[in-house]
Structure 1
């Protein structure tokens, strides 16, 4: 993809983010764009960085490793895909945030690996807000008890929640899921658990991020609207 295309796409996306935030009575500066670089080659990512991208999201550990070796610390890395315990050690020193924490066992492994490098790892608890069997994430009804357990770990900090809404051609159909996640975050916030902060809501992708921003998203994960449609 040409640099001009990426630059234009980013301008359009940033304007749409700004408009959605303003419409919701929020500051556009509250919303962080995470450019999803799944299947995007490092030279294309570097073009996006030249155009102002500061954070990228990857679904696979091996892709973070590969791209980190080439791009280095020019950008912040977010692990947004399902994470297996045995692969935590490969990315613990590379990622700024893990969006896909979904079990106590995984939390213990992240905590152990983070402790070894004297790091406190920022994580989001992934919630399966829609209850779809095809999606990873914690049942919303189990979130509070799990967070009470995780709060005892010293090298992991929960900084919010993440979810993936069902795909639909009409984003208004998934507004209720974003609203439910926001409400869950408010309920958790009332518990005042140590090491648990509800400052971040990672929700909304290319097809529904404006609705997500309207319901409180401040991390939006956008790929195809920046880099074009890809073969997954």
Structure 2
């Protein structure tokens, strides 16, 4: 199926989820996860109207950005090694996986002076050992400490839920992340407006939208 048709299906599902949760569908951004697809398929997504492109690996992402970079907004959504920051920092508008001070330090070092990098702090809400991210308890102290890195703007929180057949089972994890985001927002930290939630993938994005996701990361349901 073409990306255009798939996009229409995803948009319809978002609209339905927003109606159920009394939200505006315009507040939900679709990030097309293109890590397993070609440059041509990524181009098809952009031409179909997808604005946000998500990549998990610096090398693959840079190859696509070098061909298509001017046509979209680029998100780094995978585990980011500090040594890779230098080669990708200029290309990606958002980093979804900030989870340690050593990475924050490198982002600060490599971001051009006077600029800010939009970052999501990754939270391992489920506590699964296979997933990266801070624990819920570690998140607020970590974000407070980020105030010393002037190049970092904490625009929100990100999580990856457990992969299960019934998406309803992961609703508590998404709800917990939303509650944590709201707690941080109430602190009114200048460096951490924390107004966004990056959560939900192809198997569970409708539940994530119902629980407040503003960025959903959709791969197989959109680009294959």
Q: TM-score if structure 2 supplies the norm length? A: 0.97
Map Cα deviations across residues 175-198 of structure 1 (whole Å, 9 max, x no partner): 000000001111111222221011
Corresponding position: 1:224 with 2:220: yes
Map Cα deviations across residues 80-118 of structure 1 (whole Å, 9 max, x no partner): 0000111101111101100000011111110111135x4
Partner of 2:78: 81
Corresponding position: 1:64 with 2:39: no
Corresponding position: 1:90 with 2:87: yes
Residue of 152, 155, 167 corresponding to 1:159: 155
Point out the more displaced range, 201-210 or 17-26: 17-26
User: Which 5+ residue runs of structure 2 have no aligned equivalent?
Assistant: none
Partner of 2:199: 203
Point out the more displaced range, 189-198 or 86-95: 189-198
SS of residue paired to 2:30: strand
Q: How does 1:1-232 map to 2 (within 5 A)?
A: 5-116=2-113, 118-228=114-224
Alpha-carbon offset, residue 227 of structure 1? 2.0
Map Cα deviations across residues 25-57 of structure 1 (whole Å, 9 max, x no partner): 000000000000012111111111111011110
User: Which 5+ residue runs of structure 1 have no aligned equivalent?
Assistant: none
SS of residue paired to 2:118: strand
Alpha-carbon offset, residue 77 of structure 1? 0.8
2:28–2:214 contact (8 Å) kept in structure 1: yes
How many angstroms apart in 2 are the aligned matches of 1:193 and 1:8?
Answer: 41
